[in-house]
Amino acid sequence: MITSTFCLLPGIGVRTERRFWREGLSTWDRFLTTPVVRGISGARKALFDDRIAEAQKRFTRGDSRYFATAVAPRHQWRLYEWLRERALYLDIETDCFGQITVVGLFGRDGYTALVQGESLGLLRLRAELSRYDLLITFCGSTFDLPMLRAHFPDLPLEQPHIDLCGVSRQLGYRGGLKAIERTMGIDRVEALQGFSGQDAVRQWNRWRHQRDENARRLLLAYNEADCVNLQPLADAFYCRLVQASGLGEVPVGPTGNIRQVCEKNEAGRDA
């Protein structure tokens, strides 16, 4: 999807982008090899060609961080197929004083919990984040990432970021993560049914003050579910956004398997 994106060009919005697609300019390559584009002056076409050529170069190099600023936040979901195998699903927990207690990270190597007083620190967090090229959260724009920046001002958060809360609103969903999971048929284990953020705070307090090992396990299980469940949610949301975009069928890109993911999600909806 990213190589069909023209919203990274100055002054080009979704409406003009869709006109490009209808006129056969469905990829960067097709735009570059088309000498004249209706409604675009020669000088502007030359400027656009330069911008697209730069984007192509960065894409070929795998330079995801370029697109963190080149593509507006509301369009960064378009990077998902390209960066899916290099995505990090992130969720934090805090105590009643607003201090970070757990940073949960789920990526290609599984789930990792960085815990206050144990493994949570700037150097470890920086090392973990540096291994990934896309951040995916739920409400991360308004909570997780601002909290991380406040607690770790020197932490580089340069990757593109997809906030699935904003994406869910685009698709017409309402409610928080757990409510949307239920709507999408994404399950949690019985021990976590009805477990909330306030419960996470209480479990942290039990661990911190009483060294209750069961409370610690439950807190980390809750955080792990918050991270792990973002992946099927991101898969489903990406497929639906592509299908609603007007581009046509879901393109097959570098990850090679997103079409199968979309077909599976669509079959689940029809069942």
Tell me the CATH number at 124: 3.30.420.10
Can you give the residue range of the structural domain that contains 162?
A: 82-231
Q: What is the pLDDT of residues 33-90, one digit of tens each?
A: 999 999 999 999 999 999 999 999 999 999 999 999 999 999 999 999 999 999 999 9
Looking at the structure, do residues 35 and 103 belong to the same domain, yes or no?
no
Looking at the structure, do residues 183 and 139 belong to the same domain, yes or no?
yes
Looking at the structure, do residues 47 and 91 belong to the same domain, yes or no?
no
Looking at the structure, do residues 174 and 215 belong to the same domain, yes or no?
yes
Residue 218 tokens read as 């439950």
Crossing angle for the helix pair 230-245 and 258-270, to the nearest 10 degrees: 90
- The pLDDT value recorded for residue 220 is 98
Looking at the structure, do residues 112 and 23 belong to the same domain, yes or no?
no
Nearest to 156 by CA among 65, 67, 83, 55: 65
- The pLDDT value recorded for residue 269 is 53
37 in any annotated domain: yes
72 in any annotated domain: no
The values of phi and psi at residue 51, to 5°, are -65, -40
Ranges of the chain whose pLDDT falls below 50: 250-256, 271
Nearest-angstrom CA–CA distance, 150 and 97 = 14
Residue 12 tokens read as 């080009």
Nearest-angstrom CA–CA distance, 105 and 128 = 8
Looking at the structure, do residues 104 and 221 belong to the same domain, yes or no?
yes
Residue 22 tokens read as 């209808």
Name 207's Cβ contacts closer than 8 Å, sequence gap at least 6.
Answer: 213, 215, 216, 219
261 in any annotated domain: no
42 in any annotated domain: yes
Q: Are 7 and 75 in contact (CB under 8 A)?
A: yes
Looking at the structure, do residues 88 and 185 belong to the same domain, yes or no?
yes
Looking at the structure, do residues 23 and 91 belong to the same domain, yes or no?
no
263 in any annotated domain: no
Looking at the structure, do residues 86 and 57 belong to the same domain, yes or no?
no
Residue 116 tokens read as 């206050």
Residue 271 tokens read as 């069942």
77 in any annotated domain: no
DSSP-based helix, strand, coil % in the chain, nearest 5: 60, 10, 30
Nearest to 207 by CA among 194, 223, 193, 187: 223
In the chain, how many domains are there? 2
Name 259's Cβ contacts closer than 8 Å, sequence gap at least 6.
Answer: 250, 252
Looking at the structure, do residues 122 and 223 belong to the same domain, yes or no?
yes
Nearest-angstrom CA–CA distance, 77 and 73 = 8
250 in any annotated domain: no
Looking at the structure, do residues 92 and 182 belong to the same domain, yes or no?
yes
Q: Are 83 and 151 in contact (CB under 8 A)?
A: no
259 in any annotated domain: no
Q: Which of 61, 92, 108 is the last residue of a domain?
A: 61
Nearest-angstrom CA–CA distance, 94 and 68 = 27
Nearest to 155 by CA among 163, 166, 165, 144: 144
- The pLDDT value recorded for residue 252 is 44
- The pLDDT value recorded for residue 256 is 45
